[in-house]
A and B are shown apart, each in its own frame.
Chain A
């Protein structure tokens, strides 16, 4: 089939000539056996997906499931390696997002891609400003913009800059822009991630209206409650494969969570046996009502000396947010952190380090290591920060600590002067661990300690974590891998939709137990 020019497609669309009109309930957009490979990764494996006109369809899956790849293939951001994308009965080959938009597939991302310094009206009308000879007809521009927003029940001053409005309003403006381009399919990629409840209600009202008007809406979200509140059907992907498409009303939450995480045999418990010491150790760190609006509901959490507490939950449930709040990398707006019974100020990472905290972040490339610095320099970073920069650690002492850690953790590096950026992922992670160990924290927070690390490194790090507990340190480990949590944790705090929903301990710490807690 010859590639039709975008202009021809747009013309055809406007006249409804090239594309058959789709009745409500008919399939408006479909992926048939779509595959996409990246170097070393099969991101999508023969995935089928169908979106009906007049439905809201949730696209769900954990990290790496292939949600965004599927969306990008359907909107022309990526070229597919196999299969077909069918819009209203016709196979399409959009070459970029603009072409997909001209065909009627519009996408609104979580991060609003509009221009905050321009007025709302200009944002809505930017590429089709009315006027002639290059001059802008301001009156008509504002009137058209007002009309576009009125369709969504939004009445705001369109001449004010967009950046002055809340994220929710910006989101709605982005949607108004998207559907004004004769959209038949609207893709919303995590639109609710930074909205509060009233704003979500406003967005949902608009989504229901659009559904009633016959639009097909794909809704990507991490919030299970919202899935059940607004969607008609659910498609679950896992590891690039289609798990299934279900009617929302007929799928129980526990089945949904099982579909997302995968049903695996309960592995034999590797769980540490806590030495039965009679009276439980006193709380080392206790978190009381710590939270931040729009980020995390207030939560309580205790970690005792020599105990490893796991943070479990689906993607987007608030694991990383909790870790950062406790360490002061995000500012809490309520609650407090107590260490050994006394309140401590953890309003910044620096203060938290002074209080004896350590934090290994999730994205070690961005937030953890300094790749250009040597292994030695990376290892002494936190200790030096804790001592204050006016009291430098003598070079010989630095060398001793670095050599000791390289040996103790088995960091595979020819010498302590190699830039950390040149080491493998597992060894980088060990360097970050070493950094906190030399500053001997009382309490160490690890976010996804084994992500991107090969099997051997994985086992090393798990063993290390256990040793640290045995030495009396308190550990908080956030992980998306339930097996890992089950293997190492004494106690597990289960998060869902940015809330702590359960706490499991002892024999209750099993994969099934955690899934049940998430789905309850």
Chain B
């Protein structure tokens, strides 16, 4: 059991967990404040929308694709919810439901284009990224506050942790999303088909996997999770802005890769993505605690981590006999 845990597939995940523990441990040694659960609670809350988005991205990358539209989706969903509640009298939850449905449909549509016309996912989702960002501006040019008793209650909700920390509603939604993602990835046939398609598309088709259907569903799932990220982001900040979440698609990809998912597809874990997102948050927090460092150091450290993980992946795929695709 122990041996199989450290197999080729779990090695990147183990490395990610190790990095996460090392960073957190280092913080606890260096700073007294880091030892409190307040930091943990804030980490989970502040990175909730990123991690939720990255879960959808994990499915896409596992299937051998990429989705650049998720950052714009977050902004689009935020603006949509704000306008629906302010101008059309929607309850925020109803608005969120509409946003989730639209997000899933848009994602599925991109998946269908990719699948039906055999186009690079990179270019289709890049088009989706511009389209959604533009749509956000079309709906509203300015920042709109979302003022509704429900949103206030959402922001105020907290479950106290031992110590000074607490779990926010955002964090709880995120943890539920992670659990849902794990179930879909590892315990459903759809999940296994995603891994099969990402491992070797041609062989998967020969072995009877519904490749086209799986591709469409994967992008729909990414649309859903990024829309959910957008909902949480809107509720958490109680406002919306068309220029929100610029570049979050790249943060999400970084979380997925640092989380041990192979960029070529076929290998990876949702749990890894969760930890990958946390690592980014921890680095940010450490730099904030230090106080003397510029906050852009976060990007530098994440860049370095990415380099390390990509090279590790390359070495790992080389040891695989018969893996035809380049990473």
* Complex contact A117–B266 (CB within 8 A): yes
> Which residues of B have CB within 8 Å of A135?
187-189
Binds A, one of B192-200, B240-248, B295-303, B304-312: B192-200
Taking a contact as CB atoms closer than 8 A, the residue among B188, B206, B323 that contacts A97 in the complex is B206
Interface size on A, residues (CB 8 A): 31
A113–B201 Cα distance when bound, in Å, is 10
* Complex contact B9–A161 (CB within 8 A): yes
Task: Count chain B CB atoms within 10 A of each CB in A113, A118, A129, A134 and give the residue with the most.
Answer: A118
Taking a contact as CB atoms closer than 8 A, the residue among B8, B9, B196 that contacts A115 in the complex is B196
B11-39: which residues lie under 8 A (CB-CB) from chain A? none
> Which residues of A have CB within 8 Å of B198?
117
A163–B208 Cα distance when bound, in Å, is 20
A189-242: which residues lie under 8 A (CB-CB) from chain B? none
A147-180: which residues lie under 8 A (CB-CB) from chain B? 157, 159-167, 170
Taking a contact as CB atoms closer than 8 A, the residue among A122, A136, A157, A167 that contacts B322 in the complex is A167
* B81 close to A (CB within 8 Å): no
A109-157: which residues lie under 8 A (CB-CB) from chain B? 111-118, 122-123, 126-127, 129, 131, 134-136, 138, 157
> Which residues of A have CB within 8 Å of B176?
none
* A89 close to B (CB within 8 Å): no
> Which residues of B have CB within 8 Å of A316?
none
Contact with B along A8-49 (1 / 0, CB 8 A): 000000000000000000000000000000000000000000
Contact with A along B244-268 (1 / 0, CB 8 A): 0000000000000000001001110
* Complex contact A167–B203 (CB within 8 A): no
> Which residues of B have CB within 8 Å of A126?
192, 196, 204, 207-209
* B292 close to A (CB within 8 Å): no
A97–B204 Cα distance when bound, in Å, is 14
* B4 close to A (CB within 8 Å): yes
A289 CB → nearest B CB, Å: 27
B272-327: which residues lie under 8 A (CB-CB) from chain A? 319-323
* Complex contact A116–B200 (CB within 8 A): yes
* B137 close to A (CB within 8 Å): no
Closest to A126 in B: B207
Taking a contact as CB atoms closer than 8 A, the residue among A97, A123, A164, A167 that contacts B7 in the complex is A164
* B190 close to A (CB within 8 Å): yes
* Complex contact A167–B321 (CB within 8 A): yes
Assuming the contacts A97-B206, A160-B4, A160-B7, asked whether A117 and B187 have C-beta atoms less than 8 A apart, the reply is no
Closest to A162 in B: B322
* Complex contact B321–A159 (CB within 8 A): no
* B202 close to A (CB within 8 Å): yes
B266 CB → nearest A CB, Å: 3
* Complex contact B209–A164 (CB within 8 A): no
* Complex contact B7–A115 (CB within 8 A): no
Closest to A177 in B: B207
* Complex contact A127–B209 (CB within 8 A): yes
> Which residues of B have CB within 8 Å of A421?
none
B166-216: which residues lie under 8 A (CB-CB) from chain A? 187-192, 195-196, 198-200, 202-204, 206-209
Taking a contact as CB atoms closer than 8 A, the residue among A98, A129, A167 that contacts B192 in the complex is A129
* Complex contact B192–A163 (CB within 8 A): no
> Which residues of A have CB within 8 Å of B208?
98, 126-127
Taking a contact as CB atoms closer than 8 A, the residue among B7, B190, B322 that contacts A116 in the complex is B322
Taking a contact as CB atoms closer than 8 A, the residue among B187, B196, B203, B319 that contacts A113 in the complex is B203
A160–B202 Cα distance when bound, in Å, is 21
Assuming the contacts A116-B199, A164-B8, asked whether A136 and B189 have C-beta atoms less than 8 A apart, the reply is yes
B68 CB → nearest A CB, Å: 24
Task: Count chain A CB atoms within 10 A of each CB in B200, B202, B209 and give the residue with the most.
Answer: B200
Interface size on B, residues (CB 8 A): 31
> Which residues of B have CB within 8 Å of A113?
200, 202-203, 206-207
> Which residues of A have CB within 8 Å of B199?
115-118
> Which residues of B have CB within 8 Å of A117?
9, 195, 198-200, 262, 265-267, 320, 323
B326 CB → nearest A CB, Å: 13
Task: Count chain B CB atoms within 10 A of each CB in A113, A115, A123, A138 and give the residue with the most.
Answer: A115
B214 CB → nearest A CB, Å: 12
Taking a contact as CB atoms closer than 8 A, the residue among A98, A118, A166, A170 that contacts B266 in the complex is A118
Assuming the contacts A115-B204, A164-B7, asked whether A129 and B189 have C-beta atoms less than 8 A apart, the reply is yes
A118–B265 Cα distance when bound, in Å, is 11
A98–B209 Cα distance when bound, in Å, is 12
A127–B209 Cα distance when bound, in Å, is 6
Closest to B323 in A: A116
> Which residues of B have CB within 8 Å of A111?
322
* Complex contact A116–B320 (CB within 8 A): yes
Task: Count chain B CB atoms within 10 A of each CB in A97, A126, A160, A162 and give the residue with the most.
Answer: A126
A107 CB → nearest B CB, Å: 10
> Which residues of B have CB within 8 Å of A163?
8, 320-323
> Which residues of B have CB within 8 Å of A160?
4, 7-8
> Which residues of A have CB within 8 Å of B195?
115, 117-118, 122
* Complex contact A115–B187 (CB within 8 A): no
* Complex contact B322–A170 (CB within 8 A): yes
A373–B190 Cα distance when bound, in Å, is 46
Assuming the contacts A113-B206, A115-B203, A115-B204, asked whether A136 and B192 have C-beta atoms less than 8 A apart, the reply is yes
B183 CB → nearest A CB, Å: 8
B171 CB → nearest A CB, Å: 27
> Which residues of A have CB within 8 Å of B204?
115, 126
Closest to B319 in A: A164
* Complex contact B8–A131 (CB within 8 A): no
> Which residues of A have CB within 8 Å of B188?
134-136
Closest to A170 in B: B322
A106 CB → nearest B CB, Å: 12
> Which residues of A have CB within 8 Å of B187?
135-136, 138
> Which residues of B have CB within 8 Å of A123?
207
> Which residues of A have CB within 8 Å of B203?
113-115
Task: Count chain A CB atoms within 10 A of each CB in B190, B206, B262 and give the residue with the most.
Answer: B206
* Complex contact A165–B192 (CB within 8 A): no
Assuming the contacts A117-B199, A117-B267, A170-B321, asked whether A161 and B189 have C-beta atoms less than 8 A apart, the reply is no
A135–B4 Cα distance when bound, in Å, is 23
A111–B192 Cα distance when bound, in Å, is 23
Contact with B along A348-376 (1 / 0, CB 8 A): 00000000000000000000000000000
A157–B196 Cα distance when bound, in Å, is 19
A165–B208 Cα distance when bound, in Å, is 23
A259 CB → nearest B CB, Å: 34
A111–B196 Cα distance when bound, in Å, is 17
A59 CB → nearest B CB, Å: 22
A185 CB → nearest B CB, Å: 18
* Complex contact A166–B323 (CB within 8 A): no
Query: What are 28 A-to-B residue pairs whose CB atoms are below 8 Å?
Result: A111-B322, A113-B203, A113-B206, A114-B322, A115-B266, A117-B198, A118-B266, A122-B196, A126-B196, A126-B207, A126-B208, A126-B209, A127-B208, A127-B209, A129-B192, A131-B189, A134-B188, A134-B189, A136-B187, A160-B4, A161-B7, A161-B9, A161-B267, A161-B320, A163-B320, A164-B319, A164-B320, A167-B321
Besides A134-B188, A166-B321, 15 new A-B residue pairs in contact (Cβ under 8 A), listed by A number: A114-B200, A114-B322, A116-B321, A117-B198, A117-B266, A117-B323, A118-B195, A136-B189, A136-B192, A161-B8, A161-B320, A163-B320, A164-B319, A167-B321, A170-B322
The 6 closest A-B pairs by CB, nearest first: A117-B266, A163-B320, A127-B208, A117-B199, A115-B199, A115-B200
